[in-house]
Amino acid sequence: MKIISEAKAHGGRQGVYSMESEACGCDMSFAVFQPIQAKEQLCPVVWFLSGLTCTHANVMDKGEYRKMAAELGLIIVCPDTSPRGDHVPDEPDNWQFGKGAGFYLDATEPPWSKHYRMETHILEELPKLIAGHFAADMERQGIMGHSMGGHGALTFALKYPDRFRSCSAFAPIVQPSGADWSKPALEKYLGEDVAAWRRYDATQLIADGARFPEFFIDQGTADGFLEDGLRPWLLKEACRGTGIGLTLRMQEGYDHSYNFISTFMDDHLAWHAERLG
C-alpha cells in the first residue's frame, strides 16, 4: 500500500492510498477515513461506492461524511469506480462506459475483461488490504453507494449477505439491464447474452431468489435521471412479497448531485451504525 496523503479530520484521519491491483492490472486508488476510536479498538466498516464519472475523491470532498462517522466510530472506505492508466482500454467520449464507469462487475468480453474486474477488486483484493492496514472489524461491514454505486451496493449485498450487515443507497440504478444509460455498458462488458447480466441487476437477483434483510434508499424527485435510468419503483415491485424490507424516501426537490447526498448522509450513516452495532 502506498500513502498518497493523510490528514487529521474530526479527531481521526482521512487518507488517500493506492495499491497494485492484480485484478485490474493497474494501480488502484482509494480513500479511508478512520475515526479516533480506531486508535483503541476495531471499528465497523462502511463502504461507499461512487457513481458514473467519479473517483474516490468526489464523496471524500463533497459527501460530508466525516463528522458523523467520527461520532459513530465508523471507518469509511471509498474505492475508485474503474481501472485507470494509459494502457487501460477506454471510450473517452462516452461518460457511461470505460474509465469512471466500471459498473462494479467483472467483465468477460475483450478487451475489457483484462482490466475491468471491479467486483474482484472490491470484494477480494481491497478487503484484505483494509483488514491488514487499518483497525477494521471485518465482521461488521455495511455498504452504500450513489447511482452506479448504488447499483453496486445493492447487488453486492444481495450476492454476499453473509458479508454485509447493512445496505443503503442514494438514487441507485436498480435495474441496469433495462435502463437506457446502462444496457449498452452491460452488453460491452458481458456480451449479448442477457442471462449473463442477471447477476449484476438487483431486481433480477431478487427474482432469482437472492435475499437481504432490508434496504434504505433516498431518491430525489427532481433527479433528471429518475424516469429513464434509476426507476426505484422497480425495486419496490421486486421486493414485494419477498420478506426484504425496503425504506424508500422520495425527497422533494432534490436532484442527483452531492448536494442531495450530503444532505442525507448523516441519516444513512446512523442507519448503518445501528445495524452494525
Q: Please report, as a single letter, which amino acid is at residue 242.
A: T
106 belongs to the catalytic site: no
Residue 256 annotated as catalytic:
yes
Q: Is 146 a catalytic residue?
A: no
Of the residues 147, 168, 177, 182, only one is catalytic, namely 147
Whether the Cβ atoms of residue 30 and residue 54 lie closer than 8 Å to each other:
no
Say if residues 118 and 103 touch (Cβ distance below 8 Å).
Answer: yes
Print burial letters for 59-71: b (CB count within 10 Å at least 16), e (below 16): bbeebebbebbbb
| Long-range contacts of 243-248, Cβ-Cβ distance < 8 Å, separation of 24 or more | 243/211, 244/206, 244/211, 244/212, 244/213, 244/214, 244/215, 245/213, 245/214, 245/215, 246/214, 246/215, 246/217, 247/214, 247/215, 247/216, 247/217, 248/217, 248/219
- Out of 218, 223, 268, 272, the active site residue is 223
- Beta-bridged to residue 12, according to DSSP, are 9
Annotated catalytic sites, by residue?
147, 223, 256
